[in-house]
Structure 1
Amino acid sequence: MTTTYGITPTRLLTSEWHKLRTVRSTWITALTAAALVLGVGILMGATYTSGGGDADVDTVVLTLYGSQLGAIALAVLGILVTAGEYATGTIRATLTAVPTRTPVLWAKATVYTATVFALSLLTAFATFLTAQVFLDDTDQAASLTDDGVLAALAGNAAGVTLLGLIALGLGAALRSVPGATGAFVGGVLILPEILRTLPYETTETALRYFPTQAVGALGTATPIPGTASPGAALLALTLWAAAALAIPALLLKHRDV
């Protein structure tokens, strides 16, 4: 009797999780991201003095300054999850096994989201608590029970994860690690800074909902004037990520490997 193994969502997720955790670059980029966030957080806490130039900075923002660097490392991981398979040629075997194609993209996105959110949340909590050891006797002393702190830590993790999903979508669309990396750096990180120089009020308002600015709004315990509300920032980031994934999904249906 021959046993037939069909394609199921569970098996797809298991396959993508196996790929993610067994590739060396995953561990390198993940540990690099966590080390950057934790290292910068400890540095900020150890060198901070009350009444200094950062006295008016939100406590969560101060301790998680390294998230900007960590997010770039995790974005690279997102690009490698998709474009990396095109670079090695293993995507042909994957899409041969799953001829409907798009479930592969959704499985990659799901596994990446769960993994990166868990890592980012754990890193955010560890960094905040470690930095507070140094900040205990300063005007930046805070605890997890303070208003807005837990939401800001979770928001930071969600923002970093969604930013990485945008990178994952770019990798799947462009199918090139260098190309997707350049598009992410140029389009997501640099373009908003260029647009910021334009003397138009509408541009300034629109920039609040660009990915990097939305991430910043999600990771603050105290609302920052001139930024989007956490709810609006989360919605904007979700829409950016959805759009970034929708493009490669369409390309998978209408383009050869």
Structure 2
Amino acid sequence: MSVSSSRKITQILGAELDKLVTLPLIGLTLLVTFILNLGLAAAFTSVDLQGAAGTQNILNTGLSSMGYLQAGFIILGILATCSEYTGGQIRTTLTTIPWRGFQLSTKYLALTIITIPAASFTTASGVLYTFIMMKDTAVVIEIDEMIKSLAGATGYLTLTTLLSAAIGALLRRTTPALVVLLGYYFIVSPLSKDFLHNTKYFFPDTAGYYMYMPPSSDEINVLTPMEGTGISLLWTLIFITAAIIFYRKRDA
């Protein structure tokens, strides 16, 4: 008796989730990222408490670690798609699930299911630590504003993870993917912002910044959270589409 389409989807999604959950490096990456984020949150909070007079902004301090935190989720995305090529497991996967485009799309869905709670918990813990330490000197933050910023931070880290996974699928090797992505996010992008001017807002990391961090009063021509989300989402969909196309055409 043939299995229904919905049953197949559930089984394939379950298999992809199982592969990600049981991969030791995935759990280790998330754990190390969480611990480092708390350490960075503590460091930024301590600096702000010691160095500045007057009231502080909890969100600005609690989310200051995002620039470094994204590295852990970049690694997460790369590991999710490149790990199967390391030991040749990709051949077993394609033998079991011959529908390549569908299989890769399901992997991205499984990665999203894992990333959203991990990103939400990690970012919220940093902001919570900052709130506990700065509650007597901090500017009062509306709960709606905090929820929007945390949702934006979670969305940005999720899109960054998926974009990294797509590039990992295109390159199929962990080290080249790490060099390309970490090189862009931590070297190329920061150095190029001084001469790109308004063009910089159309790149995924800069646009993603405005998904969670409200602009300062002296900034002009900045993006709204929705515009930042749209640009980041567009970049992610472009690379995912390219990854699926090449995945279907290339040999394992």
Instruction: Find the counterpart in structure 1 of residue 211 from structure 2.
Output: 218
Contact 1:46 1:135 in 2 (8 A): no
Residues 242 and 57 of structure 1, relative CA distance in 2, 3 Å threshold: farther
Aligned-pair identity in percent equals 23
Contact 2:55 2:139 in 1 (8 A): no
Instruction: Find the counterpart in structure 1 of residue 157 from structure 2.
Output: 160
Structure 2 counterpart of 1:233, which letter? G
Residues 186 and 135 of structure 1, relative CA distance in 2, 3 Å threshold: same
Whole-angstrom CA distance in 2 between matches of 1:185 and 1:255? 26
Whole-angstrom CA distance in 1 between matches of 2:235 and 2:76? 18
**TM-score under structure 1 normalisation?**
0.88
Indicate whether 1:114 and 2:113 are aligned.
yes
Instruction: Find the counterpart in structure 2 of residue 105 from structure 1.
Output: 104
Instruction: Find the counterpart in structure 1 of residue 238 from structure 2.
Output: 243
Displacement after TM superposition at 1:222 (Å)? 5.3
Instruction: Find the counterpart in structure 1 of residue 200 from structure 2.
Output: 207
Contact 1:166 1:244 in 2 (8 A): yes
Indicate whether 1:177 and 2:174 are aligned.
yes
**TM-score under structure 2 normalisation?**
0.89
In structure 2, runs of 5+ residues without a counterpart are none
Structure 1 residues 92-139: Cα deviation after superposition (integer angstroms, max 9, x where no partner): 11111111201121111111112111111122222212211110111x
Instruction: Find the counterpart in structure 2 of residue 96 from structure 1.
Output: 95
Whole-angstrom CA distance in 2 between matches of 1:88 and 1:151? 41
In structure 1, runs of 5+ residues without a counterpart are none
Indicate whether 1:234 and 2:229 are aligned.
yes
Whole-angstrom CA distance in 1 between matches of 2:75 and 2:211? 21
Contact 1:152 1:218 in 2 (8 A): yes
Contact 2:58 2:141 in 1 (8 A): no
Whole-angstrom CA distance in 1 between matches of 2:3 and 2:179? 40
Displacement after TM superposition at 1:180 (Å)? 0.8
Structure 1 counterpart of 2:40, which letter? V
Whole-angstrom CA distance in 1 between matches of 2:94 and 2:56? 48
Whole-angstrom CA distance in 2 between matches of 1:47 and 1:195? 28
After superposition, residues 20-169 of structure 1 pair within 5 angstroms as: 20-49=20-49, 52=52, 58-138=57-137, 140-143=138-141, 145=143, 148-169=145-166
Contact 2:40 2:65 in 1 (8 A): yes
Whole-angstrom CA distance in 2 between matches of 1:129 and 1:112? 25
Count of aligned pairs: 248
Instruction: Find the counterpart in structure 1 of residue 250 from structure 2.
Output: 255
